[in-house]
């Protein structure tokens, strides 16, 4: 049975698609200590279609796809997750930066929500809403600090802030 990772953050520009593509490459190649290559199914729910553009460029550079991509929508997402599950070990879903009915539908099918957060108050507020939505749908969720300066005291500061403002 394929695992479903959903990259969600109710604020746009948090780095969801970038993080998803980096992890997809790691899992598809068997790198990063994951042990073996995985068959990756990508679902692009974001109307900006950045994930789709990334995949088009990847195919141009490689000559053939090493992952499957489905451009989906609110109305087809349940069916598309089922379709991707038939051919994938891992399904990675790129959600738009918004809270809506589609996000709740996706969260019901998700094994893990990954929510990138940048060091700004609006990001923390949006993360809190994303974590609440995940909890309401029974989805496990994790926060990834993104674009945080690689200085230990900054990281500690933002972790403390997140624990206070967006407890899981």
pLDDT over 80 (residue 18): yes
Using pLDDT thresholds of 50, 70 and 90, give the confidence band for residue 162.
confident
Count Cβ atoms below 10 Å from residue 148 Cβ, excluding itself: 15
Task: Give the chain's end-to-end CA distance (angstroms, integer).
Answer: 27
- Specify the pLDDT at position 12: 79
Residue 54 · residue 21 · CB < 8 Å: yes
Any idea which of 11-15, 76-80, 87-91, 140-144 has the lowest mean pLDDT? 11-15
pLDDT of residue 82: 94
More confident site: 15 or 151:
15
What does the pLDDT average to over 145-157?
A: 72
Q: Span 141-167, mean pLDDT? A: 75
Q: Which domain holds residue 133?
A: 3-165
Q: Would the pLDDT of 53 be above 80?
A: yes
Residues 86 and 140: their CA atoms lie apart, in Å, by: 23
The predicted pLDDT at position 5 comes to 96
Q: What confidence tier does 153 reach under pLDDT thresholds 50, 70, 90? A: low
Q: What's the average model confidence in pLDDT over 28-50?
A: 85
Q: Tell me 66's DSSP state.
A: S
* CATH number of the CATH domain containing 39: 3.40.50.300
In this predicted structure, the answer to whether residue 151 has a pLDDT above a threshold of 80 is no
Do 43 and 92 form a contact (C-beta atoms < 8 A)?
yes
**Higher model confidence: residue 135 or residue 156?**
135
> What is the domain count for the chain?
1
Residue 105: predicted pLDDT? 87
**Residue with structure tokens 């930066």?**
97
- The stretch 154-163 carries a mean pLDDT of 74
DSSP string, 29-46: HTTTTT-S---EEEEE--
């Amino acid at each position: 049975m394929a695992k479903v990772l959903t990259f969600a953050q109710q604020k746009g520009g948090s780095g969801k698609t970038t993080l998803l593509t980096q992890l997809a490459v790691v899992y598809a190649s068997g790198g990063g200590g994951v042990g073996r290559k995985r068959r990756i199914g990508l679902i692009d729910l974001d109307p900006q279609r950045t994930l789709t553009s990334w995949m088009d460029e990847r195919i141009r550079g490689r000559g053939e796809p090493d992952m499957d991509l489905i451009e989906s929508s609110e109305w087809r997402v349940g069916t598309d997750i089922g379709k991707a599950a038939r051919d994938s070990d891992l399904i990675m879903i790129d959600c738009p930066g918004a809270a809506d009915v589609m996000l709740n539908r996706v969260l019901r099918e998700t094994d893990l929500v990954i929510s990138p957060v940048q060091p700004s108050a609006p990001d923390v507020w949006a993360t809190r809403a994303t974590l609440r939505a995940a909890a309401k749908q029974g989805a496990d969720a994790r926060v990834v600090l993104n674009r945080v300066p690689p200085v230990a005291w900054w990281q500690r500061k933002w972790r403390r802030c997140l624990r206070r403002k967006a407890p899981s």
